[in-house]
Amino acid sequence: MSGFSFKLLATDGAARRGEITTPHGKVRTPAFMPVGTQATVKALYPEQVSQAGADIVLANTYHLMLRPGAERIAALGGLHRFMNWDGPILTDSGGFQVMSLAKLRKVSDKGVTFQSHLDGSTHQLTPERAVEIQTLLGADIQMQLDECIASPATRAEAMRAMRLSLLWAERARKSFSAAGGQALFGIVQGNVFEDLRTESARTLSGMDFAGHAVGGLAVGEGQALMLEVLDFTVPLLPADRPRYLMGVGTPEDILESVARGIDMFDCVIPTRAGRHGHAYTRFGRLNLRNARHADDARPLDAESACPAANAFSRAYLHHLIKAGEHLGAMALSWANIAYYEGLMAGIREAISEGRFDEFRRRTLADLARGEDFAER
C-alpha cells in the first residue's frame, strides 16, 4: 500500500500541474472532487463518477458521524467498501456543517458541542474526535477540525476563530497517525483579513501537515474578495504540498483560483444544478426548463464523451425535467460532473503546454456569452 505524496509536474505562471499519491490511487491536479455528502455523489452511480473523469470524491464527516455512524461504517469495512468506491476519498472535518446546520452550538477551546439537525441529540466534536472519526471511515485525506465563521465578520471574531483553529490544528496533528498511509491537511482561516491569514498560513506551514486548505471562503464574500484573499494567502503556503480551496465553486472560480496556485476543489454546484434542470456545457450554462428546448433534437454536446451529454436530446431532457422524472436529474448531474472533469483535464493539459492563460481567457469568454451562445 502506497503512502501519501505530492509531486509537482509542471508550472505555468502560478498555475500548477501535479500528482497526489494515496493508498487508494493517484489524483491528477488541479483536481475537482465531486461531493459525496452522505457517502454518495447525488443521483450518480460510483462508476459514472469515475467514468466522468473523477479521481477522488469528498465525503462529509458531520453527516456520516450522525448517520449511520463512523463506528458502524468501520465495522462494515470502511467507507470505500461501504460506498463501493475504490479510489481516493477526502473527508472534511465537520466544522463547516456544525456552523451551518447544527443547533445550539457551544464552542470552547476543547471543541464544539452541538445538537444534531436530524433528531436534536447532543454531540461533541473535538480535534481528536474528528481525526478518530475520519480514521474510522478510512479517508485517504483528512482535515483538521476548524471553526468556520460566516462572512462578513468583525476582525475580532475572525481573530478568535482563526487562533482557535490553530490550537485545534496542533491537537489534531498530535493525535493523527499516518500509519495507514493517510494524510492530514491543515486549514488556513482568518476571514478576509490579510494579517490574520498570514498568521494562520505561516503557523500551519510550520506544523508539517501533508497539505493545506484555504477555508472560510465562498461563504458570502463574493468572488472578487475571495480572489483577493487568495492573492495574499496562497504564496505563503509551501510549494511542495497540495493546496485545496474548500467549497469552490463555479467554473469561473476554478479557473481564476488555478491561476493563483490552487490544486484541489470541491463543490455541490454541478450536481445541485443538475437536480434543478441546469446543464453546464463548453459554451455556457443551459436551463433545460426553458420552453426553447422543447423541440430541440440536439444533444447537450455532441463532442462530449459522456452519454448523458451526447445521447439524449435537449427536448427529451426538457421533458424529463418538466415532468419531474428522476432520470432528468440523474442525466444532468452526470453531464455536469463530466463537464467539470473535462474542464480540469483541459486545465491540466494547458498548464503542461504553457498556455494556461490563453485557455483561461478563452474559456471565461465562452462562459460569459451565456445561454444564447450555448444554444448554437
How many angstroms separate the CA atoms of 227 and 176, rounded?
32
Catalytic residue among 12, 92, 146, 301: 92
Catalytic residue among 140, 146, 266, 301: 266
The amino acid at 188:
V
HEC sequence for the chain: CCCCEEEEEEEECCEEEEEEEECCEEEEECEEEEEECCCCCCCCCHHHHHHCCCCCEEEEHHHHHHCCCHHHHHHCCCHHHHHCCCCCEEEECCHHHHHHCCEEEEECCCCEEEECCCCCCEEEECHHHHHHHHHHHCCCEEECCCCCCCCCCCHHHHHHHHHHHHHHHHHHHHHCCCCCCCEEEEEECCCCCHHHHHHHHHHHHCCCCCEEEECCCCCCCCHHHHHHHHHHHHHHCCCCCCEEECCCCCHHHHHHHHCCCCCEEEECHHHHHHHCCEEEECCEEEECCCHHHCCCCCECCCCCCCHHHHCCEHHHHHHHHHHCCHHHHHHHHHHHHHHHHHHHHHHHHHHHCCCHHHHHHHHHHHHHCHHHHHCC
The amino acid at 301:
D
How many angstroms separate the CA atoms of 56 and 54, rounded?
6
Residue 295 appears among annotated catalytic residues: no
| Nearest partner of 128 among 98, 184, 173, judged by Cα | 173
Residue 195 appears among annotated catalytic residues: no
Alpha-carbon distances, residue 372 vs 108, 162, 240, 318 (angstroms): 52, 44, 43, 16
Active site residues: 92, 266
